[in-house]
Amino acid sequence: MANKKQSRVLTVDQQVSQLPQECPWLEPGADAELLQIQDFPTFLLMRLAVATRNSITLRYLKPHGITLPEWRLLALVARYDTLQFGEVTAGSSMDKGQVSRTLHAIHLKGLVQLNTSAQGERRSPLSPRVEVSITPAGMELFERILPVARRTQMGLINMMSPEERVVIYDVMCRMLRQLPDLAENEED
């Protein structure tokens, strides 16, 4: 079934105002032929992630001169004494290149320390043998931003009833646990 062509691109606000009142996932058709791209779970999740990043998260990071990827890695490293580069990559959901660039940026800002481990020299300055630890300045910045981040995130949580919080949290966690299985089954 071909989708009806739009005459012009709608702004994000216009698209949000046109979200269906009824859940399109209840009757998507036998082969999901009635499901519009803008109603795909992945599309809505990404739209929500971008909207929260732009309207909430960046608002409390920008005054501190730190980007979202920098904050994510700073928050990760703050929870441990020392991490190997590979551990930072594995724990961040970021690719190696982005981790490398972001660690380099926060290292230049004096927020993390990068040390080559005693296991020998490697060609890449941010190889798996690089150890990452937070500096006192990095910990101070982390501790300054964290309460603001918590209050801001609580604003999102307060948009939901207690019952909705439980359901949404459960569904999100279940999806995170089951997505590797779904991807594996799609390859068959």
* Residue 11 resides in a domain: no
In terms of phi and psi (left: phi > 0; alpha: psi -120 to 50; beta: otherwise), the region of 120 is left
Q: Kindly report the pTM of this predicted structure.
A: 0.78
Beta pairing partners, 114: 132
Residue 65, phi-psi category: left (phi > 0), alpha (psi -120 to 50), beta (remainder): left
User: Residue 79 is part of a domain; what is its CATH number?
Assistant: 1.10.10.10
For residue 87, give its domain range: 67-156
Closest among 109, 74, 67 to 91, alpha carbons compared: 74
Residue 118 lies in a domain: yes
Check residue 1 and give its pLDDT.
Answer: 46
Structure tokens at 47: 């739209």
Residues 6+ apart with CB under 8 A from 106: 66, 70, 73, 74, 112, 138
Taking only the tens place, the pLDDT of each residue in 35-44 is: 988 889 999 9
For helices 85-92 and 68-78, the axis angle rounded to 10 degrees is 120
Residue 21 lies in a domain: no
Residue 107 lies in a domain: yes
Query: Does residue 37 sit within a domain?
Result: no
Give residue 75's identity as a one-letter amino acid code. A
Q: Is 87 helix (H, G, I), strand (E, B) or coil?
A: helix
pLDDT tens track, the chain, 188 positions: 455 676 788 777 777 777 778 899 999 999 999 998 888 999 999 999 988 888 889 899 999 999 999 999 999 999 998 999 999 999 998 999 999 999 999 999 999 999 986 555 555 555 558 999 999 999 999 999 999 999 999 999 999 999 999 999 999 999 999 988 776 766 65
- Please report how many Cα atoms fall inside a 13 Å half-sphere around the Cα of residue 137, on the Cβ side: 9
